[in-house]
Amino acid sequence: MKILAFGASSSRQSINKALASYTANLVAGAEITVLDLNDFDMPIFSEDIEKSMGVPVQAQAFVDAIAQTDVIVVSFAEHNGSYSAAYKNIFDWASRIEKAVYQNKPIAVLSTSPGPGGASSVLAQAVNSMPFFKGSVIGSLSVPSFYDVMIDGEIANASIKQALLGIVAKF
């Protein structure tokens, strides 16, 4: 099984990337690719830029990474109650290549934050929009207070770990 994991954040120390990677690694024997959104730096999407320069090759690389996987694990950072600008820009460019961005792949949709909200607002947005872009949500989870939950690279909260195991069992 090939799993693509990424945090929908541009932070080099992304807790969402850490959560997505951790969750993907709960699947024994899987071939895991962890993307860093910083590798997909592109101009801010606009039709004017698209007309003058075309679609950036990084957008095609993102679409190709999804095509080459069996399952996606994504954890969303919440910026002012919504998607991070980095994720939204990549998504907007990718949707110009393939409206069905998620290509009917099963997706575990996660979110986390340092605070008690666990980025639950953006999680709800993501879960609700995925089907419009051919993402098959097989489970979702908001993880509050990341630094209290993830200790020394391990989920220390038994109920959260059990919930993650329940999600990956559906892969």
Query: In this predicted model, what pLDDT tens digit does every residue of 113-142 receive, in sequence order?
Result: 999 999 999 999 999 999 999 999 999 999
pTM: 0.96
Q: What is the DSSP string of 98-132?
A: -SSTTTTEEEEEEEE-SSTTTTHHHHHHHHHHGGG
Query: In this predicted model, what pLDDT tens digit does every residue of 64-115 receive, in sequence order?
Result: 999 999 999 999 999 999 999 999 999 999 999 999 999 999 999 999 999 9
User: What CATH architecture applies to the domain 2-169?
Assistant: 3-Layer(aba) Sandwich (3.40)
Question: What confidence score (pLDDT) does residue 101 get?
Answer: 97
Residue recorded with tokens 């770990």: 161
Report residue 10's pLDDT band, with 50, 70 and 90 as the boundaries: very high
Contacts of 121 (CB under 8 A, 6+ apart): 78, 81, 82
State how far the Cα of 169 lies from the Cα of 167, in Å rounded to an integer.
5
Question: What confidence score (pLDDT) does residue 145 get?
Answer: 97
DSSP code of 29? Answer: T
Phi, then psi, of 143 in degrees rounded to 5:
-110, 105
| H helical segments located in the chain | 15-24, 47-53, 57-67, 85-97, 120-129, 146-149, 158-168
State how far the Cα of 87 lies from the Cα of 126, in Å rounded to an integer.
11
Question: What confidence score (pLDDT) does residue 47 get?
Answer: 96
State how far the Cα of 75 lies from the Cα of 43, in Å rounded to an integer.
23
**Angle, vertex CA 106, rays to CA 3 and CA 117, nearest 5:** 90
Tell me the domain boundaries of the chain.
2-169
Query: In this predicted model, what pLDDT tens digit does every residue of 13-42 receive, in sequence order?
Result: 999 999 999 999 999 999 999 999 999 999
Report residue 58's pLDDT band, with 50, 70 and 90 as the boundaries: very high
Question: What confidence score (pLDDT) does residue 164 get?
Answer: 98
Give CA separation, 23 vs 90, 158, 162, in Å. Answer: 22, 14, 11
Report residue 167's pLDDT band, with 50, 70 and 90 as the boundaries: very high
